[in-house]
Amino acid sequence: MSERLDVKKTYKLVVNGAFPRSESGRSYEVARANGGFLANVAQGSRKDLRDAVVAARAAQAKWWGASAYNRGQVLYRWAEMAESRRGELIDQVGLAEGLKKKDAQSSVERAIDRIVWYAGWTDKVTQVLGGANPVAGPFFNFSLPVPSGVIGVVADQESSLEGFVDAVAAPVCVGNSVVVIASERRPTPGVILAEMTATADFPGGVVNVVTGLTAELVSHLVMHEDVDGVDLTGAGELGDELAHRAAGSIKRVYRPRDNGDEDSLRRLRTFVETSTVWHTIGQ
Amino acid sequence: MADDSHTSELGGLSYDPAPESRSIARLAPSYGLFLNGEFTPAASHEQFVSINPATEEELATVAMASASDVDRAVASARRAYEKVWSKTTGAERAKYLFRIARLIQERSRELAVVETLDNGKPIRESRDVDIPLAAAHFFYYAGWADKLEHSGFGPRPRPLGVAGQIIPWNFPLLMAAWKLAPALAAGNTCVLKPAETTPLSALILAEIFQQAELPDGVVNIVTGDGTTGAALVEHPDVDKIAFTGSTDVGRLIQERVSGTAKRLTLELGGKGANIVFEDAPIDEMIEGIIDGIFFNQGHVCCAGSRLLVQESVADEVLRRLLRRVDQLRVGDPMDKNTDVGAINSAAQLERIRELSSWGEKEGATRYTSACELPDRGFWFAPTVFADVAQSHRIARDEIFGPVLSVLTFRTPEEAVAKANNSKYGLACGVWSEKGSRTLWVAQRLRAGVIWANTYNKFDPTSPFGGVRESGFGREGGRHGLEGYLNV
Amino acid sequence: MAPLRPVDVRDHGVLLPAVISVPAISNEDELRRVVGSLSGVDAVGVESRVAKLGTRSLKKSTKMSAIDLAISMVDLTTLEGADTHGRVTSLCTKARRPDPGDLAVPSVAAVCVYPDLVAHARRVLGAAPVAVAAVATAFPSGRASLAVKLADVAEALEAGADEIDMVIDRGAFLAGRWGQVFDEIVAVKAACGTTHLKVILETGELVTYDNVKRASWIAMLAGADFIKTSTGKVAVNATLPVALVMLEATRDFAEQTGQLVGVKVAGGIRTTKDALKYLVVVNETAGSSWLTPEFFRFGASSLLNDLLMQRRKQRTGAYARPDEYSGD
């Protein structure tokens, strides 16, 4: 009896809760870290990014309109989905990063636990980053963190899942929506995780992922005026130039720091705005 | 009412019985104590009965824990703390709590039925308020377990150790969640003592702990009566006591605990003032008054049991209130259309009757709902006393039943003074469309919780607790961690 | 202006006094005094009351009689530019006999059509106990002169309409010209004479509950027989919270004046479940006096089929097949 032929996966984009091919019709080859063909992945275009930003903007109002509790439940369910499909993630991380199964497994477990960590932040950020202010006058004054809006993410090029989780879950847990340019050479774990947002009850458009050639795509995302902030972690040498371009629309910019000493909340803080309200107190 | 054609009752559409199915409950005939991860009889094998207060039928028997059982429970909690829980990372503790939250959600219908049978509260409330909030508390505190360094209590706040927790009968599962979730998130292990008349939902929760694979001994449950609670309070190897119940018992506990190293938080009684200004949104305000005192049959420490209404609108408010009271559906708690259920016990019913009788003795005007009450079970018709004065017993003493006392005021200052004229200070309500005045009043009220244009709203993120003789310490929110950390 | 009628606190119920005493409104100042002194509406409070009422469980005989009641309250509606005599014939045939397979099903309360189709509707219905309601006054926008609006009404009446559904001038309302809104309703009511007048507030355009409450009072003070939520032609039509606010307004108006004004909810009510939720709201706010087609209506088209299917299911125990019910 001949060996069973397996059904190969076609990797597509994740935009607005759906899984389209690139409007450009292009694809490119992604190789395993240790050599050999892994998959053909959609080569996204600036128009795909444009569509993703439109979807992200529309979805963000709905996402922020849900309660913090609800957002936490959705993120926790994302972790549930990832846990139940951990086998697939372990395989892909192993192939994408050239890791032995044991190490790939640890990486995936850390990534899932990290999603759980973020799930618990949704209804606490306000208490940690906000508060009442004792102004010198008869006013009730309070400050609240509100999400910046739509965040463009250039995902970590090397860390195919853990890096992806941090860059996506941080802005999302505080109420933003994201448009992610996935790692160019290691996109598949992130795309799989993004597919799971559909079964985790995320509103379509909160998490959007466009795969493709980083250098070709990044400046379009960074210069898009309807993107409120950018995470340039995966931009590498292009980082300085992109940060310069982001200044054109006064975007909030997140860049990794050289000393590696990372305050775990920095990403959360970068992508919220503080809104302060005064209300008179008097009979 | 003299003329039936002017009925204010639900004449047009009378609702046929819509009973929830009792068989969902799956109660065992008897339960042991929950010690070290398993159910085990009390050392004396003594059991007591838990009944359904709406019908007086027996639901199950549960174990009566003696001092030696409490000792076993504390030892189990201590062992679990030393050997397992204090070595469990915050991220892992979080995942246990997330599991528990999910399991509560999955078994929510069953828990709601058990809660209604054991407590007497309407199934609509167990289903829509008690159980969802219980799950939400576990969800919320799960998320703090691995973020304690961000909670504002220093870079490495440590737990206290073993917490002894005594909870009341009015929201049995929810009170268990309010106690256990923050304690476990902070890294403590627990010995929980449910109320004597409502032990069952806590025992189902114990099954959930087993399903969640919570390590043995992290939570122990000792069912019993006042002596069980006293044994827990006095146990030398307990680091923290948390109590919710009456001010009288809270006072005794504080006396016992003073001079020891035990930390203490108390959530006690109240005589909440619902303050209605003339510019209140009238129909929503009436609902809020009703909800404030008749929700949960008035068995709520933060109940709005005093209505302070601005004199200029007092008559109109009272008229609308009484009309609305007559519309309340009082009866079988298992009926989905019931608004007001049974009084939890014969003892509580007697207390309510006795205190209410003072209303008339002291000269207030009594109005009682025209509802029909079932023959069996413990029932009290929703009651409103008008023309109440500050000095009346029914304006000062907590009745803990469906009885509202109505007083008037003229100015905001007078409203504040009357509201604060109480040894209690748990909750108040303020009804007005003028934000500045609401905030002005809120600033001056001596209460731990102030609701504006709403009442009886609870959320795991929102700190709850009282001032003065309503207790100290807060449950819910970031503040709710403080009582379980060594800070 | 008549003061609020003093009531004894022992009179808990909705009392309908023998003497009718509508506040006499002869100018905008008096109107503003009455309408401007109404208490505000807390949106969170309204919505949570509606949510709680939505948990009422109607079973067995309650559900059966509620379904029949709902059917008898339907104003079966067609208001399309593409309406023809043929369309109206189908509609009216269904209105008088909603389920040809079951003659026990009550007929609906009315059909609702544009004025130029009233005469045909009347012909098809013959002597059936189904009223013909006509929308008028430049429905749905209301953007025309008063003269044009009154001419619209006159034609509908001449064609034999039993009921007129008018629209208020929302532009005038939102610009604060309450007197103009009031005067137009008075003029239309005068033109109607004894013909029953429904006043469409277009609550979706009024947006806030405070506005809905004020517009309800303006309409009632001006002589409306019914206040109606919507034209069905805008994005947001009838909602349960809006209905609650309107029913509370009619209850209070009845207590003060003795006059019962009906409420019609229109647009977006498609299922029996929705309809029963509305009946619960009526039941527990305004009360039993409004639980009749004389004082409560559903402006709907597809709702009727769902009511018929649910009615069938209550009797046979099986879910029905939508295809068996006529699409008209």
Contact list in B for residue C213 (CB cut-off 8 A) is none
Instruction: Count other Cβ atoms within 10 Å, centred on residue B347.
Output: 12
B440/A279 CB distance under 8 A? no
The pLDDT, as a whole number, for residue A148 is 98
Q: Does B434 touch chain C (CB under 8 A)?
A: no
pLDDT at B94 over 70: yes
Token pair for residue C45?
A: 């409070």
What is the Cα–Cα distance from B330 to B371, expressed in whole angstroms? 7
Contact C97, C103 (CB under 8 A): yes
Q: DSSP string spanning B181-226?
A: HHHHHTT-EEEEE--TT--HHHHHHHHHHHHTTPPTTSEEE----H
* Residue A237: exposure state from Cβ atoms within 10 A (0-12, 13-18, ≥19): exposed
The pLDDT, as a whole number, for residue C13 is 58
What are the average pLDDT values for consecutive 10-residue runs of chain C, which has 328 residues?
A: 49 53 81 94 97 94 94 97 97 95 94 97 96 97 96 97 97 97 97 97 98 98 97 97 98 93 96 97 95 97 95 86 75
Token pair for residue A78?
A: 């994302």
The pLDDT, as a whole number, for residue C11 is 62
The pLDDT, as a whole number, for residue B16 is 87
Residue A87 neighbours by CB under 8 Å, 6+ apart: none
In the Cβ-directed half-sphere of A221, how many Cα atoms lie within 13 Å? 38
At residue B102's C-alpha, the angle toward residues B97 and B104, to 5°, is 95
Beta-bridged to residue A92, according to DSSP, are: none
The least confident of A3-17, B141-155, B277-291, C238-252 is: A3-17
Contact list in A for residue B139 (CB cut-off 8 A) is 69, 72-73, 76
What is the Cα–Cα distance from A129 to A175, expressed in whole angstroms? 14
The pLDDT, as a whole number, for residue B106 is 98
**3-class DSSP state for residue B57?**
coil
Catalytic residue, candidates C228, C252, C277, C306: C228
Catalytic residue, candidates C94, C198, C264, C277: C264
Catalytic residue, candidates B20, B115, B125, B267: B267
Instruction: Count other Cβ atoms within 10 Å, centred on residue A19.
Output: 17
pLDDT one-digit tens code per residue, A221-266 = 999 999 999 999 999 999 999 999 999 999 999 999 877 666 679 9
C60 is catalytic: no
A127/B478 CB distance under 8 A? yes
pLDDT at B262 over 60: yes
Contact list in C for residue B8 (CB cut-off 8 A) is 12-14, 287
Q: DSSP string spanning B231-267?
A: HHHH-TT--EEEEES-HHHHHHHHHHHTTSS-EEEEE
**Neighboring chains of C (3 or more beta-carbon pairs < 8 A):** B
Catalytic residue, candidates C75, C99, C165, C225: C165
The pLDDT, as a whole number, for residue B7 is 29
pLDDT at A35 over 80: yes
A283/B436 CB distance under 8 A? yes
Residue B132 neighbours by CB under 8 Å, 6+ apart: B108
Instruction: Name the percent of chain B lying above pLDDT 90.
Output: 96
B144/A124 CB distance under 8 A? yes
What is the Cα–Cα distance from A263 to A280, expressed in whole angstroms? 37
Beta-bridged to residue C75, according to DSSP, are: C110, C299
DSSP designation for C270:
-
Please name the residue that has the structure tokens 């992806």: A164
**Neighboring chains of A (3 or more beta-carbon pairs < 8 A):** B
Instruction: Count other Cβ atoms within 10 Å, centred on residue A95.
Output: 22
Comparing CB atoms, the residue among C9, C46, C289 nearest residue B315 is: C9
- What's the farthest any 2 CA atoms get from each other in chain A? 88
What is the Cα–Cα distance from A61 to A10, expressed in whole angstroms? 31
What is the Cα–Cα distance from C319 to C309, expressed in whole angstroms? 7
Q: Does B368 touch chain C (CB under 8 A)?
A: no
Contact list in B for residue C8 (CB cut-off 8 A) is 319
Task: Place B8 in a pLDDT band, splitting at 50, 70 and 90.
Answer: very low
Contact list in A for residue B436 (CB cut-off 8 A) is 279-283
B322/C12 CB distance under 8 A? yes
Contact list in A for residue B148 (CB cut-off 8 A) is none
Please name the residue that has the structure tokens 């005064």: A278
**Arithmetic mean of pLDDT, B239-265:** 97
pLDDT one-digit tens code per residue, A183-226 = 999 999 999 999 999 999 999 999 999 999 999 999 999 999 99
Q: How far is B26 from chain A (nearest CA, A)?
A: 28
* Residue C200: exposure state from Cβ atoms within 10 A (0-12, 13-18, ≥19): buried
pLDDT one-digit tens code per residue, B414-449 = 999 999 999 999 999 999 999 999 999 999 999 999
pLDDT at B10 over 60: no
User: What SS3 string covers B333-380?
Assistant: CCECCCCECCCCCHHHHHHHHHHHHHHHHCCCEEEECCCCCCCCCCCC
Q: Does A70 touch chain B (CB under 8 A)?
A: no
Q: Does B281 touch chain C (CB under 8 A)?
A: yes
Q: How far is C29 from chain B (nearest CA, A)?
A: 21
Mean of all residue pLDDT scores within chain A: 96
pLDDT one-digit tens code per residue, B76-86 = 999 999 999 99
The least confident of A156-160, A177-181, B368-372 is: B368-372
Comparing CB atoms, the residue among B6, B280, B283 nearest residue C248 is: B283
What is the Cα–Cα distance from B467 to A54, expressed in whole angstroms? 50
Assess: ipTM above 0.90.
yes
Identify the residue among C5, C12, C38, C64 best suited for mutation to test binding to B, counting B beta carbons within 10 A and taking the highest. C12
Q: DSSP string spanning A108-120?
A: HHHHHHHHHHHHT
Residue of B nearest to C5 (CA): B316
Task: Place B195 in a pLDDT band, splitting at 50, 70 and 90.
Answer: very high
Contact list in A for residue B437 (CB cut-off 8 A) is 282-283
Q: Dihedral, CA atoms, B208, B212, B214, B218, nearest 10 degrees?
A: -30
The pLDDT, as a whole number, for residue B356 is 97
Identify the residue among C39, C44, C55, C58 best suited for mutation to test binding to B, counting B beta carbons within 10 A and taking the highest. C39
**Arithmetic mean of pLDDT, B170-192:** 98
Mean of all residue pLDDT scores within chain B: 95
B13/C279 CB distance under 8 A? yes
What is the Cα–Cα distance from B293 to B306, expressed in whole angstroms? 9
Q: Does C14 touch chain B (CB under 8 A)?
A: yes
The pLDDT, as a whole number, for residue C4 is 44
Q: How far is C311 from chain B (nearest CA, A)?
A: 17
**3-class DSSP state for residue A179?**
strand
In the Cβ-directed half-sphere of A283, how many Cα atoms lie within 13 Å? 8
Comparing CB atoms, the residue among A124, A281, A283 nearest residue B143 is: A124
Say if C and B touch: at least 3 Cβ pairs within 8 Å.
yes
Contact list in B for residue C9 (CB cut-off 8 A) is 315, 318-319, 322, 386
Task: Place B2 in a pLDDT band, splitting at 50, 70 and 90.
Answer: very low
Chain B, 467-486: which have a CB under 8 Å from a chain A CB?
Answer: 477-478
Q: How far is C147 from chain B (nearest CA, A)?
A: 39
What is the Cα–Cα distance from C63 to C313, expressed in whole angstroms? 11
pLDDT at B477 over 50: yes
**Arithmetic mean of pLDDT, A264-269:** 90
- What's the farthest any 2 CA atoms get from each other in chain B? 73
The pLDDT, as a whole number, for residue C9 is 60
What is the Cα–Cα distance from B424 to C231, expressed in whole angstroms? 53
Chain B, 83-112: which have a CB under 8 Å from a chain A CB?
Answer: 91, 94-95, 98
Contact C237, C266 (CB under 8 A): yes
C58/B282 CB distance under 8 A? no
Contact A226, A51 (CB under 8 A): no
**Arithmetic mean of pLDDT, B206-217:** 98
pLDDT one-digit tens code per residue, B224-237 = 999 999 999 999 99
Q: What is the pTM of this model?
A: 0.94
Q: Does B215 touch chain A (CB under 8 A)?
A: no
Instruction: Give the CA distances from residue A241 to residues A45, A156, A238, in Å, rounded to whole numbers and listed in that order.
Output: 20, 17, 6
Q: How far is B210 from chain C (nearest CA, A)?
A: 33
Residue C47 neighbours by CB under 8 Å, 6+ apart: C241
Instruction: Name the percent of chain A lying above pLDDT 90.
Output: 94
Contact list in B for residue C61 (CB cut-off 8 A) is 16
Contact C267, C299 (CB under 8 A): yes
Please name the residue that has the structure tokens 């007083």: B407
In this structure, the strands spanning B30-31 and B58-63 are parallel
B301 is catalytic: yes
B435/A280 CB distance under 8 A? yes
Contact C140, C160 (CB under 8 A): no
